[in-house]
Structure formats: structure tokens, C-alpha cells
Amino acid sequence: MKFYKFFILSFLTTIILNCNHDKVFEYKYELELSEDKIFILDSETVQTTSIIQLFTQNDTLFFSFANEYDNSVVIYDYFSGDFITKIKFEKEGPNGVGNFTSYYYHSIDSIFIYHQMYGKISILNNFAIKHKEFNFNVRSLASSELDPPSLFPVTRSPMRKVCNFMVYTGVQASQDKKKQRPTTALYDLNTNEIKFANNLPELYGNYNWGNLFAYNCACTTFNNNTMVLSFGADHNILVYNIETDENSVFIAKTKHFSKIRPFHLLDHMDRLAEDNHYMNNLCYRNILYDEYRNLFYRFAFLPYPKYNKEERYLRRPFSVIILDSKFNVVGETLLPEFEYLISQTFVSPDGLHIQILSDDDDLMIFKTFNINKF
């Protein structure tokens, strides 16, 4: 049944592509650089992180992130920028979560942590007391037809609790051409069962894309019961309804380039050749939902033919594609160049935020972009 469902989805994708090939989008939105958003750090907090999450509690908007240095989640009042608290997690013992890197703050009683190495989901409260733990070793479910994803929640592909599921999206790292190559794993908190969704697009079965994983990871965002996935090599986005288990495909391409070239396999691993392929090729990346304006933002890394590894390692220009609530492209802005930390992005009432590397270790700085309609 799953195979036929995947076949039908591929057939519908082809129809949608043909219908949208010559579609002309109406641009109505643009991004405009605004005032930086800055958070002041203490001596035990580093400015780089694997997870950023904005959440609301008691009508207050909080900014939080993982601090690997002391195994904690750091929380600020978003608007004032004031430090609120640190939740430090034990590495060992009855409340241990190991070397903590990824989390999802659902409520004061439900902070979810996924331990990649041991394949476990831990649920703790805001005092870092563990009250539940589940086995979630999806790689152990591999078979002759199924290649489960490698899961490692980060800001660009966060874990979320939706309906009765904990939802995780990861990387399809192998080049095996199995029938089922899902990118999403869903853990049913009621039945303790695991199911998979969102196979890699068909083009991944026909070509090789190198081993940098830039093209093989699915970036995700959530809007109520729906998740939206952006694949590096695909002009389309995949929209998945978690409640109904249904998929839709929408074209969401950049206006700057159209061709995405696969990587030519060599007899041996050639990292420089892979770097050059990546830097001279279009690659889609982060996708974010803006609940304050009911828009989506999709990042497109643009080709950089003048790439010199010694001058700017894997850094290049990018644009942000803006989509409306029905996934129509309604704008695109080529961003001014900074040392962006592209993996660390979030949306607030102030706009779209992208972290830059600060020369001051005591500051976490985000470039902020207003969304203007014209």
C-alpha cells in the first residue's frame, strides 16, 4: 500500500510540475534590513548553538537556545532581551540525558530531548527532572525495502509535538535505492509505535548529489498539523498533513537560477570536487513559517563560480523566497552579504532573524529583516 501511495504521489508531482513550469508569480513582498536583535551572554554561554526556539508561555514570548558548554537550555524574555533562566541537564544518573544538543520546549512539564546515539526520547520538566523515556531507535528498523532516516534535530529541522506524535525529520545519508527512503519519523506517544513519512523526491533515486549532505537533508517548518519540507535539490516543497497522513507538492523556485546539476560519481572520494559542485550549484535550504504574517520563507543558496576555498570556505550568496499561505511565490530578496550562520534562523513579531558571528563572545547577534508589502 505504501508503495502505491508513493507511486501516486510521484505521478501527481509530475502533473504539478508540468502545470507550473511556465507559471508567472506575482511579487508583492520584499525583505528590508532592520535593527539587529542582540542577546547578552554570560561567561558560560557560547554564541553558536544547534537549536533555537521561540515559545510563548503565560502571554510572554521567550527566546531560547541550547548551550552545549554547560549542557543547558538558556531562556530570555524576547522583547526586553533580559536573561530569565538556565535549565541545566545532568549527563548521567536517573535524570541524565547525556551530552545534550537538541531539545523541544513544549511546556514547563514537557521538555523533549532526543539522544541520537542511544535512540531515546526523554521528557523532563523545567527543573530538569526526567519523568518519561521512550525507545526511538529508528535505524534498527531498516529492512530490504526501508532505509530509515538519520535523525539529529537542529534549528532547520526541529522536533515538534503535533497531535499525539513526536515528529522528527533527518538525513537520508546512504545512496541505497530502496523503495522506501523516508525523511520523517513519527513516534506515537499513545501507542509507542513508529511510522515514517515523506520519501525523498523521485529525482534523488535517479541521480547522485554528493556526500556533503547539503542536498540530502530535509529542512522543515510547522504550521498547526502541517509540516512543510524543503529539499536541497528540488525546486518544489512538500507539504505533509500529520493528522491525515496526506502530501501535496508545490513549486517554490528561485527566480535567479533554474538548473540544479547532480554530482558525477568518481571512483574515489574527492572532497574538493564535492565542494566545487556544491558552490557552483543552486541548493535550497531552510524553510520557516511566519505565524505573525501567515507567510513562509525558503532560503536558496545561489551558485558562486568564483569560489576559492582559502578565501571563503563554503560561504556564498543566498536569497529568501517568500510564499503566501497557499504556497504561491509572492516575493524574493537577495540578501546583503554578512558572515551569516544560516542554520540559526527564527521568526518573531519583528521579522526574520538570521544569526551572524560576533567578534564579541558575550553577544549573540541576529540580523533582522522587516517584511514589506508593496
Q: What is the DSSP letter of 316?
A: -
pLDDT tens, residue by residue, 64-94: 999 999 999 999 999 999 999 999 999 999 9
What is the mean pLDDT of the segment spanning 218-230?
96
Q: Pick from 264, 247, 256: which is nearest to 210 by CA?
A: 264
Grid coordinates of 91: 549527563
Instruction: Please check whether residue 265 is in contact with residue 208, taking contact to mean a CB–CB distance below 8 angstroms.
Output: yes
More confident residue, 233 or 308: 233
What is the mean pLDDT of the segment spanning 95-120?
91
Q: Is the pLDDT of residue 10 over 50?
A: no
More confident residue, 274 or 370: 370
pTM of the model: 0.90
Q: Where are the beta strands (DSSP E) in 203-255?
A: 218-223, 226-231, 236-241, 246-251
